[in-house]
Amino acid sequence: MWWDPNNLNGFWPLWPIVSQDNDRNRVKEGNEFYQVYVNQDYVGDKECVAQGDGGPSSVEDYLKSRGFGDLAIQTEGNQIRIQADEADQAEEIKRNLSVYLSIR
């Protein structure tokens, strides 16, 4: 082809090329995600990959399967907030959730 649209005939465009790199761009577009907090400490992002993933309820189900019951779990917008009364329990929840969120 006599004209290559990718070549630009040796000229650079006059307009600046701006890259917007923020936290939202690091999560795949189109997927729902939740930021998970335990006692106001950020633990990680829960990304909903499949349609039947369950979102916030899957986090609660996971914690119950690990023996953590009677937790105060609230969902506000894209945040899941978990309140644990005891500091030792909160640390154990954070450890479990950090593993769970890294593999999901």
Percent of the chain with pLDDT over 90: 46
Of the pLDDT bands very low, low, confident and very high (cuts 50, 70, 90), residue 27 is very low
Distance in angstroms between the alpha carbons of the first and the last residue of the chain? 47
Q: What is the CATH architecture of 32-103?
A: Roll (3.10)
Under DSSP, is residue 25 helix (H, G, I), strand (E, B) or coil? helix
**Rounded Cα distance, 91 and 98, in Å:** 11
Asked whether 38 and 85 are in contact (CB, 8 A), the reply is no
> Considering the entire predicted model, what is its pTM?
0.66
The secondary structure of 47-103 as a DSSP string is EE-STT--THHHHHHHHHHTT--S-EEEEETTEEEEE-SSHHHHHHHHHHHHHHHHH
* Domain residue ranges of the chain, discontinuous segments joined by +: 32-103
More confident residue, 26 or 40: 40
pLDDT at 22: 53
Lowest mean pLDDT among 3-7, 23-27, 29-33, 69-73: 23-27
Task: Report whether pLDDT(89) > 50.
Answer: yes
Of the pLDDT bands very low, low, confident and very high (cuts 50, 70, 90), residue 48 is confident
pLDDT at 72: 92
Mean pLDDT value of segment 45-68: 86
